[in-house]
Each structure stands twice: as structure tokens, then as C-alpha cells.
Amino acid sequence: MRCREDVRGDLMRARHRISKLLLRRELYYPGRGRAGRSWTRHHRDWLAGLRFGDSPSELCFADYLEAHDVLLARRERLDLELDQAAADSPWSETIARLRCLRGIDTLTALGLCAEVSDWRRFGSPRALSAYLGLVPSESSSGERRRQGSITKAGSTHARRLLVEAAHHYSRPPRVSGQLKQRQERQQPWVIETAWRCQRRLYGRWQRLRVERGKRGGIVAIAVARELAGFCWELAVTE
């Protein structure tokens, strides 16, 4: 999982190098709508058709593009191998339960299990959130109590996975076709917990973002903290 995380970071940096090179040359992707998103098949075809007026620029761009394609192929290969590893791992049952949650598929579930390892060593969801660095820091003295930003202790990888998954709960609760497929053959209480998670976290997002006007990043952290609690419940319940 950490190898895959390293490849993800390298791929992001490779894409930044390409985009910044094009920005310096004032070259902008003309796509619109869904086809206008960066790093789609249409965007990659557009990159392949670009030509520069001098050989050094051609050489530089071709090398950047080749590095990007190699990293993309490595990521796809690792994804396939991790899918197999998840099915054969000691956490296969836990992974299947976590995949019932919105925003959590095989890679996210496997990453959380690899970083947390034994979920039962945490006596409560609060203990797990503290381990993952999702609780506010505190500077208190006497009767004065002051809370700051989150501690960011523990695994950066696990914390990022939860925060990314938390953004899915900004949309109204629903069970998509893919989520329904992931929930097949699961126990009713697991599916009920996943639905309860959707309703609670969507309400949490609405209260903090819409009613109280909190910034999106702060809301995502708060929702991720509660999502960790639902993951803990699914992992430790017999």
C-alpha cells in the first residue's frame, strides 16, 4: 500500500511538471464539460498531438510524458495486485464490510486496515481518531482551555484516505449501482450501519458547511473523524 502511495505522489508530481511546462508556454487544454477534465483519455490525446518549435522543448516534453505514462502503468499494475492481496489478506472480512460505506472501495479499505492493523486495540472510536491525528490539539492551563488545529499524529496515509472519503458525504444520501454491488451478500446490520453513516455524515456536512458557514477543509476533517468511528464499528463488531 505504501508503494502504491509513493507511486501516486510521483504521478502527481509528474503531472504538475507537465502542466507547468504548458503554462509557461501559454498552452491551454480546450476541452469542455466532462471531456474537458485534465488527465482523461481526451486530455492525453491532446497532449500527444502537441508540437513545439524547437528540439529542446520537444525533448523535454516527450521525456515528461514518457515518465508520466510509466508511472500510470505502474499504478494500474499495483491496483490489480492489491485487489488480489485484499482478497487473500487477514482483513478480507473487514475490507468487505468497509466497502459498504460510501466513498470507501477496496484500495481505501485495504489502506486503512494496513495502517490501523488491529482495530480492536482501540477501545473506542475516539481513541482511533486520536491515533489518526483527527482530534483537535489542545493548549490548556488552569481554567483556560484552548483548542487548535488537529494534531496530525499517526499515519498521514490513513488520515488522507478518510478525508478524501469524507467529501463523498457532501451529497445527499443514496445507494448507487456500484455501492449496491459492494453491499451484496453482506449482513443486514452492516448495510444498515452504512446507511446510518450516510444520513448522519450528510447532516453533519450540511450543518457545518451550510448553516454555520465553516470552510470545506474544516468540514471534511470533522466528517472524516466521524467516518473513522463508523469504520471502527464495522471492524470490531462481531
DSSP line for 133-185:
T-SEEEEEETTEEEEEEE---S-HHHHHHHHHHHGGGGSPP---HHHHHHTTT
Domain edges within the chain:
2-88, 92-236
10 Å Cβ neighbour count for 40?
14
CA angle, residues 35, 37, 41, in degrees to nearest 5: 60
Q: b/e per residue, 184-223, with b = 16+ CB within 10 A?
A: eebeeebbebbbebbebbbebbeebbeeeebeeeebbbbb
Whether this model's pTM surpasses 0.85: yes
Cell of 93: 472480512
Widest Cα–Cα separation across the chain = 69
What tens digit of pLDDT does each residue of 173-212 get? 999 999 999 999 999 999 999 999 999 999 999 999 999 9
How does residue 34 score in pLDDT terms, banded at 50, 70 and 90? low
> Which pLDDT tens digit goes with each residue over 94-107?
999 999 999 999 99
Inform me whether the pLDDT recorded for 55 exceeds 60: yes
Q: Which three cell numbers stand for residue 170?
A: 457532501
Per-residue pLDDT of 138-178, as tens digits, reads 777 777 777 778 889 989 999 999 999 999 999 999 999 99
Distance of CA 27 to the CA centre of its chain: 30
